[in-house]
Structure 1
Amino acid sequence: MEIRPLQPEDPPVIAAAFKELGWPKPVEQYERYLAEQTEGTRDILVAWVDGAYAGYVTVRWESPYEPFNGIPEIQDFNVLPKLRRRGIGTALMDAAESLVATRSDIVGIGVGLYSDYGNAQRMYVRRGYLPDGRGLIYDGRQVPPMETVRNDDSLTLMFTKPLKRT
């Protein structure tokens, strides 16, 4: 397995892999990520197994989630379903946390709440992430008590984890 930064030739490969799964992740998303990586606002780590794309994770250096206030956030963590449970996700998270630890002693992450996110929910807790205590977040906004929201990809719980700064 190789983990390396996103390269200019990667966006079409990654987008094609997700298109095959029926997931809406267009090539433009990865081209934007590449531009953000060049600007220094986001780093993207891509995993390859035997020369084939396997997954990726991004580190957004300035989280849009206001309560994080300067805490870098791990975002958009994906491993192809056929390659899960082989240590690829763990390796990507290790690499992302190591990268964050070069600049911060804490990292944030959000996770969706429906069952498709179940493996990620369990992984983050096992890795030492704890909820930030603000409850449900929808599109970056705290959901007030008694408000009804849709359980989609925008509904999350936000977590943080202390890191040993390197």
Structure 2
Amino acid sequence: MDLAIRALQPEDPAVISAALAELGWNKPVTQYEKYLAEQSEGTRDVLVAWVDSEYAGYVTVRWESPYEPFGGIPEIQDFNVLPKLRRQGIGTALMDAAEARVATRSDTVGIGVGLYPDYGNAQRMYVRRGYLPDGRGLIYDGRQVPPMETVRNDDDLTLMFTKRLV
């Protein structure tokens, strides 16, 4: 397997969007065009994995997290590896590259993870990599969920983690 990780390029949005649409995921080209613009502005880095010259996955680093309690801690966001290529080290390589990039600017990195079963592999991966919950409990759409409040368990319900980078 020939694995290469590089920054998002102008020709990538259509390729990524099409690959994810085949899986039934709603990830429009405009999302990746926005990422490309944010990368050009320096507010987000996007790392794309290719296996044998075929798209395999990506991860982004948002340099200023919208999650207020992180207070300047960069956040890894939108981490995806094609299901057919999982458990082959691609996700680990993407996370290693993202953490190395963050380590050039910060000694801590943040990440959020969804709570339904589709996120199970990611939950386990983050814990194995040394991420610890930030202690604020459930977060829905960037806001802490108070005790006894009912929320929907969708992609906006997360548990936020941080990791000290050594």
Looking at structure 2, the residues matched to 20 and 160 of structure 1 have their Cα atoms a distance apart, in angstroms, of 33
Residue ranges of structure 2 left out of the alignment (5+ in a row)? none
Looking at structure 2, the residues matched to 123 and 14 of structure 1 have their Cα atoms a distance apart, in angstroms, of 23
Looking at structure 2, the residues matched to 37 and 107 of structure 1 have their Cα atoms a distance apart, in angstroms, of 18
Deviation at 1:7, TM superposition (A): 0.2
Deviations 1:83-120 (A, max 9, x none): 00000000000000000000000000000000000000
One-letter amino acid of the counterpart of residue 108, structure 2: I
What is the TM-score of this pair, normalised by structure 2? 0.99
Looking at structure 1, the residues matched to 19 and 149 of structure 2 have their Cα atoms a distance apart, in angstroms, of 37
The 3-state SS of whatever aligns with 2:137 is coil
Residue ranges of structure 1 left out of the alignment (5+ in a row)? none
Deviations 1:29-82 (A, max 9, x none): 000000000000000000000000000000000000000000000000000000
Q: In the comparison of the two structures, how many residue pairs are matched?
A: 164
Partner of 2:52: 50
Percent of aligned positions that are identical: 86
The 3-state SS of whatever aligns with 1:31 is helix
Deviation at 1:124, TM superposition (A): 0.1
The 3-state SS of whatever aligns with 2:136 is coil
Looking at structure 2, the residues matched to 128 and 160 of structure 1 have their Cα atoms a distance apart, in angstroms, of 9
1:1-166 → structure 2 map (5 Å cutoff): 1-164=3-166
What is the TM-score of this pair, normalised by structure 1? 0.99
One-letter amino acid of the counterpart of residue 132, structure 2: L
Q: CA RMSD in A?
A: 0.2
Deviation at 1:4, TM superposition (A): 0.2
The 3-state SS of whatever aligns with 2:98 is helix
